[in-house]
């Protein structure tokens, strides 16, 4: 049985040596066959050269080089596409996901679980604003989405090959993998872990990227904004009519009210139309410039 360790990388030169030196002995102790696949997502530092060095020395390592930065969802998709294991573990390169948890994940997989999630028990590394926004997103998302997700459960997980094959069938351009993971179902379990401090550098997830990912997630698994438009527009129209009957407001008031509502709702519909337009182009989610792997002696 082969296990694929999947790691997306973007400007992670400070942590890669430590990450590799921790993953390899952990996996060797499990006595499982394994491969380690890295994606260089358009890094601007020395990340790619470090990864290529791993691949030159260790035939268990494969490196996928993107032609440019395509983002975390594209990187994770590429890792799943290139994985060949009977199961796969997704892990971050910044060492906030401790590799030492992987044996416990494998044990749960051996017990028959298709999906082994991990739940962080601390958020000490996040600021007050980030914690508030994260908590708010989960509340809103789970309230309107058809695929609820558990707070503090991220991409650090193990999935069986049957799950990987199912996830690979999702071809949409704007992917929200956390939602997809939840939507596909399968037999799941969760184990707790302590999130470690980031090993060098700052988070690659800026507030702009977080908002973009959250927005894609809400639009991908919920029609709530469109339903809200219809309901709110109907209630507003009835309210304006009733208020106009009871009170003698000017025509300008109603004109401005209706215009503002029209602009707001047209904008929300426009977002959905834009997403449909993106999907209709059928552009590739990512472009691979090169794949690096040590060839067998033969």
Q: Between these two residues, 5 and 237, which has the higher pLDDT value? A: 5
- Residues linked to residue 265 through DSSP beta bridges, in sequence order: none
Tell me the average pLDDT across 204-232: 58
Quick one: average pLDDT of 223-248? 64
Q: At what angle do helices 72-82 and 177-184 cross, to 10 degrees?
A: 50
Rounded distance, CA 69 to CA 131, Å? 27
pLDDT at position 225 over 60: yes
Residue 85: both structure tokens together: 């294991």
User: Do 22 and 33 form a contact (C-beta atoms < 8 A)?
Assistant: no
254, 245 in Cβ contact below 8 A? no
Q: How do beta strands 87-90 and 153-160 pair?
A: antiparallel
How confident is the model over 149-171, as a mean pLDDT?
A: 80
Q: What pLDDT is attached to residue 35?
A: 93
Find where tokens 């009210």 sit.
Answer: 257
Cα of 117 vs its chain's centroid, Å: 14
CA 36 to chain centroid? 19
Stretch 126-131: mean pLDDT: 61
The answer to whether 285 and 173 have CB atoms below 8 angstroms apart is yes
Place of tokens 């790619």: 48
Q: Which residue has better confidence, 58 or 211?
A: 58
In angstroms, the first-to-last Cα distance of the chain is 23
The per-residue pLDDT for 298 is: 37
Q: What is the pLDDT of residue 156?
A: 85
Assess whether pLDDT exceeds 50 at residue 14.
yes
| pLDDT at residue 217 is higher than 60 | no
41 backbone dihedrals φ, ψ, rounded to 5° = -90, 60
Per-residue confidence (pLDDT) for residue 49, from 0 to 100? 92
CA distance linking residue 226 with residue 232, whole number of Å: 10
User: How sure is the predictor about 297, in pLDDT bands with cuts at 50, 70 and 90?
Assistant: very low
CA dihedral 220, 226, 229, 232 (to 10 degrees): -90
Q: pTM value?
A: 0.68
User: Is the pLDDT assigned to residue 143 strictly greater than 80?
Assistant: no
CB atoms inside a 10 Å sphere around CB 209: 13
What is the model's pLDDT at position 171?
77
Tell me how far apart the alpha carbons of residues 27 and 158 are, in angstroms, rounded to a whole number.
14
Range in 70-79, 89-98, 181-190 the model is least confident about = 181-190
Partnered with residue 190 across adjacent β-strands are: 117
Average pLDDT of every residue of the chain: 77
Cα separation, 254 vs 33, in Å, equals: 70
More confident residue, 136 or 96: 96
Give the pLDDT mean for 171-175.
72
> 203 or 231: whose pLDDT is higher?
231
């Amino acid at each position: 049985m082969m296990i694929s360790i999947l790691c997306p990388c973007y400007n992670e030169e400070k942590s890669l040596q430590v990450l590799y030196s921790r993953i390899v002995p952990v996996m060797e102790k499990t006595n499982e066959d394994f491969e380690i696949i890295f994606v260089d997502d358009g890094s601007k530092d020395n990340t790619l050269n470090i990864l290529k060095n791993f691949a030159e020395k260790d035939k268990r390592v494969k490196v996928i080089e993107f032609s440019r930065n395509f983002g975390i969802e594209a990187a994770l998709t590429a890792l799943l596409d290139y994985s060949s294991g009977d199961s796969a573990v997704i892990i971050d390169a910044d060492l906030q996901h401790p590799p030492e948890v992987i044996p416990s994940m494998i044990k749960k997989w051996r017990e028959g679980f298709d999906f082994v999630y991990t739940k962080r028990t601390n958020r000490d590394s996040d600021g007050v604003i980030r914690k508030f926004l994260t908590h708010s997103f989960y509340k809103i998302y789970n309230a309107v989405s058809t695929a609820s997700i558990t707070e503090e459960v991220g991409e650090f997980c193990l999935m069986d090959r049957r799950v990987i094959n199912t996830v690979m069938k999702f071809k949409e351009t704007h992917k929200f993998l956390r939602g997809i993971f939840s939507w596909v179902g399968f037999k799941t379990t969760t184990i707790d872990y302590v999130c470690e401090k980031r090993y060098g550098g700052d988070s690659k997830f800026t507030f702009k990227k977080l908002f973009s990912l959250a927005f894609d997630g809400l639009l991908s698994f919920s029609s709530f904004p469109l339903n809200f438009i219809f309901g709110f527009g109907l209630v507003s129209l009835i309210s304006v009519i009733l208020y106009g009957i009871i009170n003698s407001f000017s025509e300008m008031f109603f004109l401005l009210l209706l215009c503002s509502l029209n602009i707001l709702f047209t904008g929300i519909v426009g977002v959905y139309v834009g997403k449909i337009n993106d999907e209709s182009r059928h552009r590739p989610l990512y472009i691979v410039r090169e794949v690096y792997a040590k060839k067998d002696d033969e």
